[in-house]
């Protein structure tokens, strides 16, 4: 290859067409953990029991993500729109986050998991903010898995907060308005440290994003499974990864043909 050998050279053909087979495993998997309420209703149980069992599914999924070599696992746990649920359910979900950090943090740390929470933190109760800081601080040097918990997260809110930071930086003379580009925005998102999700999985058969990672999902692959979140396990994740591995990712380019 002459001249233009670059970062793409290891996966470029002689005409510079990028190979597009989805890398296996994906670097970043994001999951919309949906269907807890329906799982409970189908069993005549209160919705809260579905949420409780959903935490068990999350534990299984974290273990499987480590096993499968996924670098970053983002889980949608509480959306900025979930405040519209009955106050008792909102409080229950807050309580589950507290319990999850209190009970699982030591084990996550031991397994090398780095925990980060994204979303509008300021609106959360002070004790939860403290627990989040504790989890992020303790695990900051861990590298086995980046676990990103989206809690009180809404993508439009995240983008608006990033835009506000840009405005503040421009007003303070730290940033030239003419230099505002995609990188200026993406580096001010809550997810600045993470690669864009390669794969977004949504459980429970719903086929929408519900205000999750709108900016970051520009070229994500989507897998929708009818499995309700409390039933999600290693095999369901495996199946989603297998589906992803068969996808052709073109990023606006053209598909590479073997031997072409």
Active site residue 82: yes
Residue whose CB is less far from Mg ion, 34 or 157: 34
Piece of the chain touching ligand IPE by CB under 6 A; list 31-39, 55-63, 179-187, 244-252: 31-39
Nearest distance, CB of residue 84 and Mg ion, angstroms? 12
- Give SS3 for 145: strand
With CA atoms as reference, report the closest residue to 79 among 158, 155, 153, 156.
Answer: 153
48 binds ligand IPE (CB under 6 A): no
- The interface partner of residue 38, options being ligand IPE, Mg ion, none and the CB cut-off 5 to 8 Å by kind, is ligand IPE
Tell me the CA distances in angstroms from 135 to 99, 107, 117, 149, 255, one per residue in order.
Answer: 12, 11, 9, 11, 43
| Residue 144, phi-psi category: left (phi > 0), alpha (psi -120 to 50), beta (remainder) | alpha
Give me the long-range contacts of 8-13 (CB less than 8 A, separation at least 24).
13/256, 13/260
- The interface partner of residue 154, options being ligand IPE, Mg ion, none and the CB cut-off 5 to 8 Å by kind, is none
Q: Closest-CB residue for ligand IPE?
A: 37
79 binds ligand IPE (CB under 6 A): yes
- The interface partner of residue 32, options being ligand IPE, Mg ion, none and the CB cut-off 5 to 8 Å by kind, is ligand IPE
Residue whose CB is less far from ligand IPE, 76 or 194: 76
Which one of the listed residues 13, 82, 211, 231 is annotated catalytic?
A: 82
The answer to whether 153 touches 119, Cβ cutoff 8 Å, is yes
Active site residue 190: no
Nearest distance, CB of residue 41 and ligand IPE, angstroms? 7
CA distance 222 to 94: 28
- The interface partner of residue 58, options being ligand IPE, Mg ion, none and the CB cut-off 5 to 8 Å by kind, is none
Is the peptide bond preceding residue 25 cis, with omega within 30 degrees of 0? yes
Nearest distance, CB of residue 77 and Mg ion, angstroms? 12
Which one of the listed residues 6, 11, 13, 34 is annotated catalytic?
A: 34
- The contact mask relative to ligand IPE for 94-133 (x = CB under 6 A, - = no) is ----------------------------------------
The residues, any chain, with a CB within 8 Å of residue 252's CB and separated by 6 or more, are: none
The residues, any chain, with a CB within 8 Å of residue 20's CB and separated by 6 or more, are: 248, 249, 250, 251, 253, 255, 256
Nearest distance, CB of residue 133 and ligand IPE, angstroms? 22
The answer to whether 39 is a known ligand-binding residue is yes
Encode burial over 68-87: b for 16+ CB neighbours within 10 A, e otherwise: bebbbbbbbbbbbebeebee
* Chain positions contacting ligand IPE, by CB under 6 A: 32-38, 76-79, 82, 93, 204, 206, 208, 210, 229
| Residues annotated in a binding site | 34-39, 47, 51, 79-81, 83, 85, 202, 208-210, 221
The residues assigned a catalytic role are 34, 82
């Amino acid at each position: 290859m002459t001249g233009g050998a670059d970062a793409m050279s290891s996966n470029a053909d002689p005409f510079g067409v990028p190979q597009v087979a989805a890398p296996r495993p994906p670097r970043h998997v994001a999951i919309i953990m949906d269907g807890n309420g329906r799982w409970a209703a189908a069993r005549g149980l209160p919705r809260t029991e579905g949420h409780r069992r959903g935490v068990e599914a999350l534990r299984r999924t974290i273990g499987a993500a480590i096993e499968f070599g996924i670098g970053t696992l983002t889980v949608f746990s509480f959306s900025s729109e979930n405040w519209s649920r009955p106050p008792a359910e909102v409080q229950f979900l807050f309580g589950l986050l507290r319990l999850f950090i209190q009970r699982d943090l030591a084990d996550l740390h031991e397994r090398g998991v780095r925990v980060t929470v994204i979303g509008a933190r300021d609106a959360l109760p002070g004790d939860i903010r403290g627990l989040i800081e504790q989890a992020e601080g303790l695990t900051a040097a861990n590298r086995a898995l980046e676990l990103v918990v989206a809690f009180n997260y809404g993508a439009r809110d995240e983008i608006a907060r990033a835009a506000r930071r840009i405005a503040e930086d421009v007003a303070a003379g730290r940033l030239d308005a003419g230099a505002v580009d995609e990188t200026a925005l993406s580096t001010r998102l809550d997810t600045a440290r993470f690669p864009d999700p390669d794969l977004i999985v949504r459980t429970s058969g719903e086929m929408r994003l519900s205000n999750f990672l709108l900016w970051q999902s520009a070229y994500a692959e989507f897998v929708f499974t009818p499995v309700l979140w409390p039933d999600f396990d290693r095999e369901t994740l495996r199946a989603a990864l297998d589906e992803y591995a068969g996808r052709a990712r073109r990023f606006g380019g053209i598909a590479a043909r073997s031997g072409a």
